[in-house]
Amino acid sequence: MSIVSSQRQVFLHLLQRLRPHWRSDLNLPKRIQSLLAGERAFGSRDRRLYRELIYTTLRYLPWIEPCLDPDPDRAAKITAWLAADTRDTRAYRAGTCADWPGLPSLAARAQFLGSSPGDLLPSWFKDHCPAIFEPRELEVQLARAPLWLRLQTPNPADVSREFGALDWRSQPSPALPSAWRMLAEADVTKTDAYTGGRIEIQDLGSQLVLESIAISPGDRWLDACAGAGGKTLQLSQRVGPAGTVDAHDIRPAALDEMLERAERAGVENIRITSQPADGGYAGVLVDAPCSGSGTWRRSPHLKWVTTPAIIAARAKLQHDLLARFAARVAPGGRLVYATCSLSQRENDDVVREFLARHPGFEPAPFARTFGYTPQGAGLTILPARHDTDGFYVASLRRR
């Protein structure tokens, strides 16, 4: 048996082990990681190959799954053909699907297979976000998400020199020059730039959430759902050394990670609070737990395990959190609501209901919109424009 044939059989075996879980397990990435780590015969290149093939399967599941039982070799061939062409997949792809044409668009690939592009997103989600079913957005939904960095230094020369020495190429975003896109596969966590706190891994769309808001140096802000602190660190940078950021979360482990990141970056204006002050903040960020539908290109398993019931449950929690932390905003202060969801049930609908129940708040203008069009109090960050994940941000002011 050739190497490629052996790899194909291993891949199909891995799929069979994952198949009972990929429409039900919200933690499927951890299961995939454990599965690959448990195969002692795998080297690092093997794991990268099979990881890419598995995630390609999840992205294109409705095109691949129907072939698994009647024609598993065709399922493997379709997966190889659709997988990204990387140094780890190149030989396998050449040995599996070299006789198939390379086609530039999702529509062309769908036509070649006799499939429909629209099948690659849950049909029920069209009522939640029709925009991502449009061809341009759908194309991006099926592409691998890029690695974005946020600079945490005013002098990026050292970062550029280190990346250059490693032969890594990067590119600043035209929308936000302090956000760099990596143009090659790279483990930036092993660089001096990362361990010295000069860069953080943060999707550009996530960065645009706070960059869209007018935040004054010296202000006191509350990050009410801080988690591991990606936006907390960005917020601390925006308020500057004269400002402060209080970080609150119900998950101690996440806050511990945030403090480690803050220490690495040399940030000293963040403090943990279990009891945020009432009415004392110039701004409150409620980056609420959500369905994660904005991250489907990065976490494709979520397309097949997310349900309308899950979104309804998240929306109820979001209502509660927004109402709870609104009391912490000082008169004239800013309340910012954000999600990594593209469902209007978690976004516009939540904000509309909040404003109806809290007449003391009103929509506030955005400082920057980055080419997106505000709707009411909210701005939806769709992935295609700047090659990001999807996000939503609402800008409110206390009267």
The answer to whether 118 and 138 have CB atoms below 8 angstroms apart is yes
H/E stretch holding 323 reads helix 308-326
The first and second tokens of residue 356, run together, are 């109806």
Given the structure tokens 């994952």, which residue do they identify? 18
Is 340 in the active site?
yes
Between the CA of residue 97 and those of 77, 102, 281, 331, what are the distances in Å?
Answer: 6, 10, 58, 63
Please, which contacts does 29-33 make with residues 24 or more away whose CB atoms are closer than 8 Å? 29/299, 29/301
Query: Cα–Cα distance between 9 and 15 in angstroms, integer?
Result: 10
H/E stretch holding 337 reads strand 329-339
Pairing of strands 179-182, 170-172: antiparallel
Burial class (CB in 10 A: 0-12, 13-18, 19+), 65: middle
The answer to whether 133 and 141 have CB atoms below 8 angstroms apart is no
The first and second tokens of residue 308, run together, are 């309308």
Which of the following is catalytic: 129, 225, 290, 340? 340
The angle subtended at Cα 384 by Cα 382 and Cα 386, nearest 5°, is: 90
H/E stretch holding 379 reads strand 378-381
Query: Cα–Cα distance between 164 and 143 in angstroms, integer?
Result: 26
Given the structure tokens 């070799």, which residue do they identify? 73
The answer to whether 323 and 388 have CB atoms below 8 angstroms apart is no
The residues annotated with a catalytic role in the active site are 340
